Amino acid sequence: MTPEFVTGFFLEAIKTTIILAAPMLLAGLVTGLVISIFQAATSINEMTMTFIPKMLAVAVALLVAFPWMLQVLIDFLQNLLIGMPDMLR
């Protein structure tokens, strides 16, 4: 295992993690932004008002994106297992 291989492997692992987390993070961000605009327009400053919609948006994003996320994770794992003999040399 060369240092370049280890660096490349960790770079791919970090990219995969970011790609897998992106749908939930974006759903929470968009939901929070919409609720913040609504709160600013109506002068309602209730902090707990954002928690439930964000939680629901993240759950819906997870349900919608789960098959795609699972496929990305399976592809990463397959590449890892296929490259295992090269790693051990």
pTM of structure: 0.80
> Exposed e or buried b for every residue in 62-87, given b needs 16+ CB within 10 A?
eeebeeebeeeeeebeeeeeeeeeee
Does residue 13 surpass a pLDDT of 80?
A: yes
32-76 pLDDT, tens digit per residue, is 999 999 998 988 888 788 889 999 999 999 999 999 999 999 999
Residue with tokens 């609504």: 38
- Residues 73 and 56: their CA atoms lie apart, in Å, by 24
- Residues 71 and 3: their CA atoms lie apart, in Å, by 28
